[in-house]
Amino acid sequence: MSEEGLSLNRGSDRSEQRGGRARRMLEGALQAIAFLSGIVLVGLMLLVAISVFFRYALNQPILGSQELVQLGMVVMVMLAMPNTAYRSLHIRVDILDRVLGSIGCFLTDMLARLLGMAVLSILVVKSWAKMLDALEYEDVTNMLELPVWVAYASISAGMALYAGVLLLQLISQFGNWREYRE
């Protein structure tokens, strides 16, 4: 979504400064986790390439590489999703937009964001509880004994930020409701 699309404040200079600062902080956090997600992706690509080379060229598989890839994929995807949603880089199906009209689009966008926030909130609460259990019982993977709480923590963090993005988009939607009539 463009910067104008997420503008949360209308009115005084002071409220615009706070809104701009909050938006910049959110964008900074989203860029940081997207960067971290990219680093994980590059590491996973290298691991898979080296693992394939070792398996087929040297007939010596790297034990535990599958566990690393599985955990890494969870971390990478969960940390990339909030930034993808914020920048509107995800797939959007607009088959019914012409049929529903501007008011219908406004309502379906609002409903989709509200349902998304509800589902993500449940996911955050459940994954946070699983993370605490994994920490308490020291859950690890079978082969490499990697801590699994990291995966649950990335799910919680990524989905909490994603819910925050949806909330900001919902607020922005109400601030720009006139655009739906055009």
Asked if the model's pLDDT at residue 68 lies above 70, the reply is yes
112 inside domain: yes
For the entire predicted model, the pTM comes to: 0.81
Pick the more confident residue, 178 or 82. 82
8 in a structural domain: no
Look at residue 1 and tell me if it is in a domain: no
| Ranges 93-97, 152-156, 165-169, most confident | 152-156
| HSE of 162, CA atoms in CB hemisphere, 13 A | 28
User: In the 8-state DSSP scheme, what is residue 180?
Assistant: G
In a domain? residue 171: yes
Asked, for residue 17, whether it belongs to a domain, the answer is yes
Residue 4 lies in a domain: no
| pLDDT of amino acid 178 | 66
Q: Is the CB of residue 146 less than 8 Å from the CB of residue 67? A: yes
Whether 6 is covered by a domain: the verdict is no
Phi, psi (rounded to 5 degrees) for 7? -65, 125
Domains identified in the chain, total number: 1
Would 97 be classed as within a structural domain?
A: yes
Rounded to whole angstroms, the Cα distance separating 176 from 13 reads 19
pLDDT at 167 exceeding the cut of 70: yes
Q: What is the pLDDT averaged over residues 171-178? A: 79
Q: What is the pLDDT of the chain when averaged over all its residues?
A: 86
Structural domain boundaries, residue 51: 13-181
